[in-house]
Amino acid sequence: MTVALETRNLVKRFGGFLATNDVSLSVRQGARHALIGPNGAGKTTLINLLTGVLKPNSGQIILGGEDITALPAHRRVRKGLARTFQINQLFGEFTPLESVVLAINEREKIGGLAWAPLVAHTKVVEEAAALLQRFGLADVMGERTVVLPYGKQRLLEIALAIASKPRVLLLDEPAAGVPEEERHEVLAIVRDLPADVTVILIEHDMDLVFSFADRISVLVAGALFTEGSVSEISADPRVKAIYLGEDA
Amino acid sequence: MSSASETLMSSTAGKPETTAMALLRRRNSWRAYEIVLWLIAFAMIFAMPSKALILTEITIVALFAVSLDLILGYAGIVSLGHTAFFGLGAYAAGLFAKHYFAEPVTGLLVAGIASGVLGFVTSFLVLRGSDLTRLMTTLGIGLMLAELANQMAWLTGGADGLSGVIIGPILGQFEFDLWGRTGYIYSLVTLFILTWAARRLVNSPFGLSLKAIKTNPVRASMVAIPSRHRIVAVYTIAAVYAGIAGALLTQTTSFVSPDVLAFHRSADVLLVLVLGGVGYLYGGIIGAILFTLLRDWLSVITPQYWMFWIGFVLIVIVMIGRENLARWHTFLPEPLRRAMTRIANWRPGAKIGGSR
């Protein structure tokens, strides 16, 4: 089993509050790994540590065998660790086309070129168009992002992460806030993500977790409470008590 | 952009990459107002030769404001000390002409390099902190440089200024004349070339990444943009631009005084950008025209109180809000508005756009 992403004894404190408590997590390559836990369990903090938005107090983060603990966020993306945000983090005045072109430019390391216009980089434009097509965004590629329906914005959120061609993709509640009638579109995209991309899913929606994940880690009060397959976790009475019971 | 894309969609409905190429091509094609602006600016050489001095002043302020727009409008960095680069360029051009070589284009390059070096070094100070920190840091750099120029009288002439600057003919060919006509043409050509280059820059992948950093720095880092590198780069380029603007002032007036480093210049250039609008390059040029004409007009009708009215205008602009001012045309009657939109969106055929 090849490990795609691993944390070793990760600790993050905010003052006296232990947001991440000695988390050692190992995610197999190609896995569909769900991270669940009640509100305030430290899921988002963990994601922020993994992606470099926050620096841990101690512990290590290893991506594909390489220690990335000290790398700034943008370098981790270059190494193949991309994420989406629970609340859309998009470029409001950009068009979806510009946003995706931007992400591909950076991946191809041409984002610093300051002379030729965007359109001159034909390969990038073609790839962007194909990606937007795949995400059902082709017909709105020239609109300003802020005027798009929320479901489309959600798709763009994922498209931007995919444009970086990640080896490991962190999805932070991909369907959060999406109206029912647009939801299936987002879920279909999540389901059809390339099999070789390792996906870590943070989700409240248990139906989505159980239908999508092959492995589940439960986070409680900043610490890893338990980990197992879908059937193990869904059968675990303690998990039901602390988490599922709360929702049901 | 949305209305433009709709019409485009219907005309090229089909393959998404065709649409994408067309959309991006349109994105950097020349707009009608740009062409009109430059035509008028160049026509002024013949239309108003007696106004060459104020036209030159507008051109220099415009270049300075374009420089500030590169960092404020594209990278989102506020500066209260941008005149540090302007002033250094002005002194560099003056000293270079006085002691080494009088040819002005060489002087522009030297001034640009000098300011660029200062920009590169000080860029690391603006990487840190919030807007307030940046305001104070840039203000501090500006004040320090002003005091240096004042105290190093042996080099700069101190408060009396640097006199005895004699500028040779441009490229050894064109002499500066007493009426400032050559000076205007020279400044205008410089502004045109540098605006054209800046236009390429902001429409390039680099420019797009700057806007991304400004709009959403969190997401920008999550699409792998090395924000610090990009900010250092654009800050340095903006410093080069400001230095060249300062050099133009020296070369067209044959004089440098500590006024080129005065705080009011940093404030004025911000005001110019607020007047003209931030983040589309031409705000600096349009703002420079409005600001210089307004100041000129006010200082004639109320010689004692013109600063009062400049302040008043500034407050009005801020109170009404830039957004409302920027969409003033939306308050016009419908037919007029539609006509304006059509003019604003009109571009020459895709052939011209494609080669840009």
Interface touch B27/A119, C-beta < 8 Å = yes
Nearest to A138 among B16, B218, B225 (CB): B16
For the segment A36-48, the average pLDDT, to the nearest whole number, is 89
pLDDT in tens, B131-177: 889 999 999 999 999 999 999 999 998 888 998 888 999 998 899 98
Nearest CA distance, A196 vs chain B (angstrom): 20
Q: Which tokens in the block code for residue A108?
A: 């191809």
Confidence grade of residue A13 (pLDDT, cut at 50, 70, 90): very high
* CATH number where B273 lies: 1.10.3470
- Domain annotation covers residue B345: no
The answer to which of A35-39, A92-96, A146-150 has the lowest mean pLDDT is A35-39
Q: What is the pLDDT of residue B2?
A: 45
CA gap A55, A49 in Å, rounded: 6
Q: Which residues of B touch A73 (CB under 8 A)?
A: 221-222
- Whether residue B350 lies within 8 A of chain A, CB to CB, comes out as no
Beta-carbon contacts of A194 under 8 Å, excluding residues fewer than 6 positions away, are none
Interface touch B208/A98, C-beta < 8 Å = yes
The residues in B 281-300 lying below 8 A from A, measured between CB atoms, are none
Q: Which residues of B touch A106 (CB under 8 A)?
A: 209, 223-225
Q: What is the pLDDT of residue B352?
A: 35
Nearest CA distance, A173 vs chain B (angstrom): 16
Interface touch B200/A129, C-beta < 8 Å = no
Is 90 exceeded by the pLDDT of residue B203? yes
Q: What ipTM describes this predicted complex?
A: 0.92
For the segment B263-292, the average pLDDT, to the nearest whole number, is 91
- Whether residue A53 lies within 8 A of chain B, CB to CB, comes out as yes
**Residue of B44, B6, B40 whose CA lies nearest to B22:** B6
- Domain annotation covers residue B355: no
Looking at the 3D structure of chain B, how many domains does it have? Answer: 1
- Domain annotation covers residue B2: no
Is 90 exceeded by the pLDDT of residue B323? no
Is 90 exceeded by the pLDDT of residue B320? no
Interface touch B21/A138, C-beta < 8 Å = no
- Whether residue A44 lies within 8 A of chain B, CB to CB, comes out as no
Q: Which residues of A touch B206 (CB under 8 A)?
A: 111-114
- Whether residue A81 lies within 8 A of chain B, CB to CB, comes out as no
Beta-carbon contacts of A90 under 8 Å, excluding residues fewer than 6 positions away, are A99, A145, A153, A156, A157, A160, B216, B219
Nearest CA distance, B79 vs chain A (angstrom): 23
The residues in B 186-225 lying below 8 A from A, measured between CB atoms, are 200-201, 203-209, 211-212, 215-216, 218-225
**What is the amino acid identity at position B292?**
T
- Domain annotation covers residue B342: no
Is 60 exceeded by the pLDDT of residue B10? no
Q: Which residue has the higher pLDDT, B277 or A63?
A: A63
Is 60 exceeded by the pLDDT of residue A147? yes
Q: Which residue has the higher pLDDT, B320 or B46?
A: B46
Q: What is the pLDDT of residue B5?
A: 47
Nearest CA distance, B51 vs chain A (angstrom): 35
Nearest residue in chain B measured CA to CA from A104 = B223
CA gap B259, B282 in Å, rounded: 26
- Whether residue B355 lies within 8 A of chain A, CB to CB, comes out as no
CA gap A239, A83 in Å, rounded: 26
- Domain annotation covers residue B29: no
Mean predicted lDDT score pLDDT of chain A: 92
- Domain annotation covers residue B7: no
Is 80 exceeded by the pLDDT of residue B235? yes
Is 60 exceeded by the pLDDT of residue B34? yes
HEC string for chain B = CHHHHHHHHHHCCCCHHHHHHHHHHHHCCCCHHHHHHHHHHHHHHHHCHHHHHHHHHHHHHHHHHHHHHHHHHHCCCCCCCCHHHHHHHHHHHHHHHHHCCCCHHHHHHHHHHHHHHHHHHHHHHHCCCCHHHHHHHHHHHHHHHHHHHHHCHHHHCHHHCECCCCCCCECCCECCCCCCHHHHHHHHHHHHHHHHHHHHHHHCHHHHHHHHHHHCHHHHHHCCCCHHHHHHHHHHHHHHHHHHHHHHHHHHHCCECHHHHCHHHHHHHHHHHHHHCCCCCHHHHHHHHHHHHHHHHHHHHCCCCHHHHHHHHHHHHHHHCHHHHHCHHHHCCHHHHHHHHHHHHCCCCHHHHHHC
For the segment B239-246, the average pLDDT, to the nearest whole number, is 98
Nearest residue in chain B measured CA to CA from A169 = B222
Q: What is the pLDDT of residue B130?
A: 82
Q: What percent of chain A has pLDDT over 70?
A: 97
- Whether residue A101 lies within 8 A of chain B, CB to CB, comes out as yes
Nearest residue in chain B measured CA to CA from A94 = B212
pLDDT in tens, A222-248: 999 999 999 998 888 888 887 655 544
- Domain annotation covers residue B151: yes
Q: What is the pLDDT of residue B321?
A: 67
For the segment B67-84, the average pLDDT, to the nearest whole number, is 94
Q: What is the pLDDT of residue B119?
A: 97
Q: Which domain holds residue B215?
A: 34-320
Q: Which residues of B touch A129 (CB under 8 A)?
A: 15-17, 19-20
- Domain annotation covers residue B171: yes
Is 80 exceeded by the pLDDT of residue B1? no
CA gap B236, B253 in Å, rounded: 26
Confidence grade of residue B179 (pLDDT, cut at 50, 70, 90): confident
Q: What is the pLDDT of residue B306?
A: 83
Q: Which residues of A touch B220 (CB under 8 A)?
A: 74
**Residue of A2, A22, A35 whose CA lies nearest to A216:** A35
Interface touch A116/B204, C-beta < 8 Å = yes
A and B: number of Cβ contacts within 8 A: 169
The residues in A 199-228 lying below 8 A from B, measured between CB atoms, are none
**What is the amino acid identity at position A234?**
S
Mean predicted lDDT score pLDDT of chain B: 88
Nearest to B209 among A111, A115, A164 (CB): A111
Q: What is the pLDDT of residue A171?
A: 95
Which residues on neighbouring strands pair with residue A7, listed in sequence order? A25, A61
Q: What is the pLDDT of residue B317?
A: 78
For the segment B223-229, the average pLDDT, to the nearest whole number, is 95
Interface touch B224/A78, C-beta < 8 Å = yes
Domains of chain A: 3-247 (3.40.50.300)
- Whether residue B27 lies within 8 A of chain A, CB to CB, comes out as yes
Highest mean pLDDT, choosing among A175-179, B237-241, B302-306, B347-351:
B237-241
Interface touch B218/A53, C-beta < 8 Å = yes
